[in-house]
Amino acid sequence: MKLHHHINIIILCLGCFIQPDVFALSTYFNQNPMGWHWNNNIDQQPTLKERKKSPQDNPITKMNRVHRLLQYYKDQAVLEPTVDNIKNYLMIQNMIMQQSTLFSENWKKTMLLYPQFDYGITHPTDSAISQVAESDLHNRQIMIVKQLAKQYGLLFFYNGANPLSSQMEKTVETFSQFYGFSTIAVSVDHTLIQSKFTNKTDNGQAASLRVKALPALVLVNPKTGAHFILTYGYASVNNLLTDCYNAYLAFLTSTNQGRE
């Protein structure tokens, strides 16, 4: 009887969208005979207008009850894995899955009627389409950064005694050559490393630009003095491309023309 009661609760919570085959335990034939012939008169049911809403009508309350009942029968089936217990759990689960299927179908209909809410239109998830979008963004980044290189140069600050500096220098060299940046390497510890860049020792530039860690790469406008710290530590060529592009979006297009 408890199962019958719980099924009826789920039916009431989920509405009348459950397929008829799951009503087997709560249909007319599983109830006591009703009607005058069986000396069991049917009381007149109140109309919808006469019904008073209770806290149980809250959709959150209803959904919580459904989840609790599903968890109850799942736990019961795991702790006592009899055929009946597993069948009862599957029956409750099937009812909920039918409601989920209905939600999915109506979701698709809603997206067709109101495409402005379809996130997939502006943010495609298909791998092929995503690759096209990523390729477009990558090409735009390359174009913007090559334009930046016509106005801005790079200052590469490093510690010559740190092996990471030599590794980063190679990356900066590849990046500078490809995008056309004029780059100057600056040794903060006055230990010079082999480099194709103009290689200098620091005379206070790092402090004036407030470089806080090494190695560091700084984007600088030699005419205005505007600067932007792109990265600290090691970064790949693609990382530097993204950093330059983000600098363009977040900083260089704003009214401020320098950052400390």
Q: Are 215 and 159 in contact (CB under 8 A)?
A: yes
pLDDT of residue 38: 44
Rounded to whole angstroms, the Cα distance separating 88 from 79 reads 14
The amino acid that residue 83 corresponds to is V
pLDDT of residue 180: 96
Rounded to whole angstroms, the Cα distance separating 88 from 77 reads 8
Q: Where are the domains of the chain?
A: 2-116, 130-252
* Per-residue model confidence as pLDDT tens for the chain (260 residues): 566 666 666 665 665 444 444 444 444 434 454 444 445 554 555 555 555 555 567 888 888 988 898 999 999 999 999 999 999 999 999 988 998 889 988 988 898 888 888 877 776 666 655 666 678 889 999 999 999 999 999 999 999 999 999 999 999 999 999 999 999 999 999 999 999 999 999 999 999 999 999 999 999 999 998 999 999 999 999 999 999 999 888 876 654 444 44
CATH top-level class of 130-252: alpha beta
pLDDT of residue 256: 44
Rounded to whole angstroms, the Cα distance separating 103 from 125 reads 21
Closest CA to 226 of 256, 195, 192, 246: 256
The amino acid that residue 202 corresponds to is D
pLDDT of residue 115: 85
Reading the block at residue 246, the tokens are 């983000």
pLDDT of residue 10: 63
Question: What does DSSP say about strands 216-220 and 153-158: parallel, antiparallel, or unpaired?
Answer: antiparallel
